[in-house]
Structure 1
Amino acid sequence: MTTVEVREIERKYEAPGSPGLPDLTGLRRVACVEDRGSVALDAVYYDTADLRLAAAGVTLRRRTGGEDAGWHLKLPAGTDARDEIRVPLRAGAGAGACAGVGSEGTGRVDGAAGADGSGGADVSEGGPGATVPPQLVRLVRSRTRGAPLVPVARLRSQRDVRHLLDKHGRRLAEVSYDQVTADSLPSGKSRAWAEIEVELAEAGTAAFLDAMEEHLAAAGARRSRAKSKLGRALGKRVPKPSTAPVERAATVGDAVMAYLREQVSELVALDPAVRRDLPDSVHRMRVAARRLRSALSTFRFVLDPEATRHVTEGLRRLGTELGADRDREVLTLRLYELIDPLPRHEVLGPVRGRLRTWATTRRSSTRRRAITALNSARYLELLSALDTLLAEPPLLPAAAAPAAEGLRRGVLRDYRRLAKRVAAANTDEERHEVRKAAKRARYAAEAARPVLGTQAKAFAQRMKEVQEVLGEYNDCAVTRAALRELAVQAHLSGENTFTYGLLHERETRRAKAAAARFEGVWEQAAREEHRDFKID
Structure 2
Amino acid sequence: MAETKREIERKYEATARTELPDLTRAPGVASVEDRGVAELDAVYYDTPDLRLAADSLTLRRRTGGGDAGWHLKFPVASGIRDEIRAPLSESLPKALAGLVRSRTRAESVVPVVRLRSSRQVHHLVDDTGALLAELSVDTVHANRLPEGPDTSWTEIEVELADDAEPGILDAVDRRLRKAGIRPSSSASKLARALEETADQAPEADESPVADDDTAGGRVLAYVREQVDAIVALDPAVRRDLPDSVHQMRVACRRLRSAFKSYRKVLDRTATDPIGDELKWLAGELGFARDQEVLHARLRARIDELPRTLALGPVRARLRIWNNAHSGGARRKALAALDSARHLALLDALDALLADPPLRKDAQDAPEPVLARAVLKDYDRLATRVDHALAHHTGHDRDLAMHDARKAAKRARYAAEAARPSLGKAAKRFAKRVKAVQSLLGDHQDSVVAREALRDLGIQAHAAGESAFTWGLLHGQEEAAGAAGEREFPEVWAKASAPELREPLTH
TM-score (norm 1): 0.88
Q: Which moved more, 1:386-395 or 1:347-356?
A: 347-356
> Which of residues 173, 178, 181 is equivalent to 2:133?
173
Per-residue deviation at 1:532? 5.1
What is the CA–CA distance in structure 2 between the aligned matches of 1:28 and 1:469, rounded to whole Å? Answer: 52
Aligned to 1:435: 405
1:161 partner amino acid: V
Per-residue deviation at 1:239? 5.9
What is the CA–CA distance in structure 2 between the aligned matches of 1:399 and 1:481, rounded to whole Å? Answer: 45
What is the CA–CA distance in structure 2 between the aligned matches of 1:251 and 1:257, rounded to whole Å? Answer: 10
Identity %: 55
Indicate if the aligned counterparts of 1:38 and 1:160 stay in contact, CA closer than 8 A. yes
Distance 1:450 1:31, change over 3 A: farther
What is the CA–CA distance in structure 2 between the aligned matches of 1:513 and 1:284, rounded to whole Å? Answer: 29
- 1:142 and 2:112 are equivalent in the alignment: no
> What's the CA shift string for 1:449-495, capped at 9, x where partnerless?
23333222222211111111111110110000000011111122222
Indicate if the aligned counterparts of 1:21 and 1:177 stay in contact, CA closer than 8 A. no
Q: Which moved more, 1:256-265 or 1:405-414?
A: 405-414
Residues matched between the structures, number = 493
Distance 1:528 1:31, change over 3 A: farther
Per-residue deviation at 1:160? 1.0
Indicate if the aligned counterparts of 1:200 and 1:209 stay in contact, CA closer than 8 A. yes
What is the CA–CA distance in structure 2 between the aligned matches of 1:289 and 1:217, rounded to whole Å? Answer: 46
Indicate if the aligned counterparts of 1:410 and 1:444 stay in contact, CA closer than 8 A. yes
Per-residue deviation at 1:24? 2.2
1:374 partner amino acid: L
Gaps (5+ residues) in structure 1? Answer: 91-129
- 1:191 and 2:154 are equivalent in the alignment: no
Indicate if the aligned counterparts of 2:72 and 2:83 stay in contact, CA closer than 8 A. yes
What is the CA–CA distance in structure 2 between the aligned matches of 1:241 and 1:207, rounded to whole Å? Answer: 41
Matches within 5 A, 1:378-527: 378-425=341-388, 426=391, 427-527=397-497
2:262 partner amino acid: F
Aligned to 1:161: 121
Instruction: Identify the structure with the greater helix proportion.
Output: 2
Indicate if the aligned counterparts of 1:529 and 1:535 stay in contact, CA closer than 8 A. no
- 1:284 and 2:259 are equivalent in the alignment: no
Aligned to 2:304: 341
> What's the CA shift string for 1:56-96, capped at 9, x where partnerless?
11111110111111110101112221110001214xxxxxx
SS in 2 for 1:131: coil
- 1:295 and 2:274 are equivalent in the alignment: no
Indicate if the aligned counterparts of 1:20 and 1:177 stay in contact, CA closer than 8 A. no
Aligned to 2:43: 44
Per-residue deviation at 1:222? 2.3
What is the CA–CA distance in structure 2 between the aligned matches of 1:7 and 1:530, rounded to whole Å? Answer: 46
Distance 1:171 1:528, change over 3 A: farther
Matches within 5 A, 1:10-409: 10-15=9-14, 18-90=17-89, 130-235=90-195, 236=198, 249-409=212-372
What is the CA–CA distance in structure 2 between the aligned matches of 1:142 and 1:451, rounded to whole Å? Answer: 31
1:436 partner amino acid: K
What is the CA–CA distance in structure 2 between the aligned matches of 1:241 and 1:133, rounded to whole Å? Answer: 34
Distance 1:255 1:28, change over 3 A: same
Per-residue deviation at 1:445? 1.7
1:42 partner amino acid: D
Indicate if the aligned counterparts of 2:371 and 2:504 stay in contact, CA closer than 8 A. no
1:157 partner amino acid: S
Per-residue deviation at 1:535? 5.5
> What's the CA shift string for 1:131-166, capped at 9, x where partnerless?
101110011010100211111110000111122223
> What's the CA shift string for 1:416-470, capped at 9, x where partnerless?
2111111112321111111111111111122122333322222221111111111
1:232 partner amino acid: R
What is the CA–CA distance in structure 2 between the aligned matches of 1:33 and 1:240, rounded to whole Å? Answer: 47
Indicate if the aligned counterparts of 2:43 and 2:60 stay in contact, CA closer than 8 A. yes
Indicate if the aligned counterparts of 2:216 and 2:363 stay in contact, CA closer than 8 A. yes
Per-residue deviation at 1:167? 3.1
2:441 partner amino acid: G
2:157 partner amino acid: E
SS in 2 for 1:187: coil
Gaps (5+ residues) in structure 2? Answer: 392-396
What is the CA–CA distance in structure 1 between the aligned matches of 2:322 and 2:261, rounded to whole Å? Answer: 37
Per-residue deviation at 1:317? 0.3
SS in 2 for 1:340: helix
TM-score (norm 2): 0.93
RMSD: 2.1
